[in-house]
A = this chain, B = another copy of it.
């Protein structure tokens, strides 16, 4: 390992280091001054690429099980197959894995953690911790605030998801579709059956036998696990829109007790990492472009939903690559350190 800049810190690996989330993980580690002693960027196929960290170019290495010897913390964002192959290998070597794929999220032995919602769940980890799906991530702190303030009866969410949720190649695909449209051509996707530039696409991840998509099921199942509300009544429609960055969500909730929009604003604002942007008179409401590059979750359009007792509606926007993925993973790593839950593999290797 190279770049040992903090002798008191931790050996940190990032698997999927050249991907959009992996690169952002590395940026966030640096931005937040995470105590990295050595950074080990890994990829399924390294190809001699480098990543930039603290002013140095670090060669990306091809992952293998022994890559994790001596690594304290590994942030995984290389897809479900890589996580299934390497997470247990890493954990067996004393490394704590924070995994951004869906591979381990619903495993009962694996904590699924949003940093400001259920950090206590980390205490029971067995070497693997799951980072929630982006569309679940930005919603969970708001649902937690409402659950604590007035009880949650039912949640209906419709998403407006940025193409970057499907990785850098999907951003390139949108950029190409947009250029084709501007030049008068007929845009097609090089990746998907339909071109998102001219149509919101109500199909993210694979379809399940009940007609829902896996993305929609993630919102349901992951929210229940994170909030520790296994019977929460929640449903979702997940939709891709022709926007590069930040997911937006229209949320209608039914609460157990009355909660005015003003009370909801107070409850939301009290949640760490949540910013209320809600002043229609000045055209202020959360917008994807404004959220891009930020670690905050923005909520606005907070109003009564009069169609149900104790109904509330709101609009939530967050950068899907940062809080929706990379930042929460680094926040989990910070919690692991502060809660003394890192095994210290680098000291026994």
* A residues apposed to B, CB below 8 Å: 154-156, 158, 160, 178-179, 181-182, 193-195, 198-203, 207, 210-212, 220, 233-235, 237, 239, 241-246, 248, 250, 252, 261, 280-281, 283, 285-290, 292, 300-308, 311, 313, 315
Which residue in chain B gives the minimum CB-CB distance to A179? B182
CB distance from A16 to the nearest CB of B (A): 26
Q: Which chain B residues border A207 with CB–CB below 8 Å? A: 280-281
Q: Assembly of this chain: how many copies?
A: 2
A308 to B156, CA, bound (A): 10
Q: Which chain B residues border A290 with CB–CB below 8 Å? A: 199
A304 to B233, CA, bound (A): 13
Known: A154-B307, A237-B315. A200 touches B301 (CB 8 A): no
Q: List 7 A-B contacts (CB under 8 A).
A: A158-B158, A160-B239, A198-B245, A198-B288, A199-B248, A202-B250, A241-B241
Q: Which chain B residues border A211 with CB–CB below 8 Å? A: 261, 280, 301-304
CB distance from A236 to the nearest CB of B (A): 9
Contact between A193 and B308 (Cβ–Cβ < 8 Å)? no
Q: Which chain B residues border A304 with CB–CB below 8 Å? A: 210-211
Contact between B242 and A212 (Cβ–Cβ < 8 Å)? no
CB distance from A176 to the nearest CB of B (A): 10
Q: Which chain B residues border A311 with CB–CB below 8 Å? A: 235
Report, nearest first, the 3 A-B pairs whose CB atoms are least far apart: A211-B303, A158-B158, A237-B250
Which residue in chain B gives the minimum CB-CB distance to A245? B198
Contact between B237 and A252 (Cβ–Cβ < 8 Å)? yes
Contact between B307 and A200 (Cβ–Cβ < 8 Å)? no
Known: A178-B182, A199-B243, A235-B311. A194 touches B303 (CB 8 A): no
Q: Which chain B residues border A200 with CB–CB below 8 Å? A: 160, 241, 243, 248, 288
CB distance from A240 to the nearest CB of B (A): 10
A212 to B300, CA, bound (A): 11
A289 to B160, CA, bound (A): 17
